[in-house]
Amino acid sequence: MVFVTDTHPFLWFLTDDKQLGEEAKKVYERAEKGDAVIVVPTIVLAESSYISVKKNFKLKFDELLDMVENSINFPPYPLDIETVRMTLKLDKLSEIHDKIIVATAQRINASLITKDEEIIKSGYVKTTW
């Protein structure tokens, strides 16, 4: 199965944070074993860089980039014109970052790992938490 990750769940998984939802944790563990794929939008990587510095996460960002770049189970997904075009239709969402992540999940028809209530309530994509 293929999933897309939102930023905070991705960071919570990488730092073993208890805020990560039980179902989300199971999906990340499946991906680590090779039984699932979790696509990482490049906007998630950019946000992760910002958050890891701002909140002083126990995470070396260059190691995170290496992991994503070299993993078949956590592949990056680039921000392209079609994804940006799709964000124009996501008027129930207020933040551009969320629109890009949701549009990415729509493009590849994947469930989105997120706790974000605005995204969940929008109904634009199936969510996993």
Structural domain boundaries in the chain: 2-128
CB 1 within 8 A of CB 31: no
pTM: 0.93
Instruction: Give the CA angle between residues 17, 70, 21 to the nearest 5°.
Output: 20
Per-residue pLDDT reduced to its tens digit, 3-21: 999 999 999 998 899 999 9
Per-residue pLDDT reduced to its tens digit, 44-56: 999 998 887 777 7
Residues of the chain with pLDDT under 70: 57-59
Strand locations in 1-129, DSSP E?
A: 2-5, 37-41, 76-77, 111-113, 127-128
The Cα 83–Cα 2 span in angstroms is 18
pLDDT of residue 95: 97
Class of domain 2-128: alpha beta
